Amino acid sequence: MIECTKFKSHKSGCLQGFADIYVSDPWDVDIRGVALFMKDGKRWIAMPGNEYQDKEGETKRAPFMWFRDKEKNTRFGEAVKTAIDKWCAENPQQQEQPMSSGFTSQPADEGLPF
């Protein structure tokens, strides 16, 4: 199951905001800073990643993870968008808070496993 645990609106161009996603069994993993985009009525997500400059000096993004299988990528993206919609419907007062950066911070009470 895929669940959105937080969404922060951050509208800039096509960017709509950032979500923290929880993927339960069997993975039990949190993915922080999944970007939600929208243009011409179409929405898509982008996994967190690093920006870099290509040979022409253009800014590009390199995601930290991706699906090798296009169908799995599509299904995951649809499930994430559905989870974000559900979270926003259940938390309308929280979705318009401004966000200072593209990633949510590590909660102070959670230790890193490494």
Q: Give me the pLDDT at residue 95, please.
A: 59
Q: Give SS3 for 44.
A: strand
d(CA 56, CA 108): 40
d(CA 3, CA 83): 5
Q: What pTM, to 2 d.p., does this model score?
A: 0.78
Q: Give me the pLDDT at residue 96, please.
A: 53
- Per-residue confidence band for 57, with pLDDT thresholds at 50, 70 and 90: very high
Cis preceding linkage at 92, omega within 30: no
Report which of 41, 46, 36, 37 is spatially closest to residue 73, judged by C-alpha positions. 46
CA torsion 64→51→111→91, rounded to 10°?
-90
Which of 58 and 107 is assigned the larger pLDDT?
58
Sequence spans of domains, the chain: 2-90
Six-digit token pair at 113? Answer: 């496993």
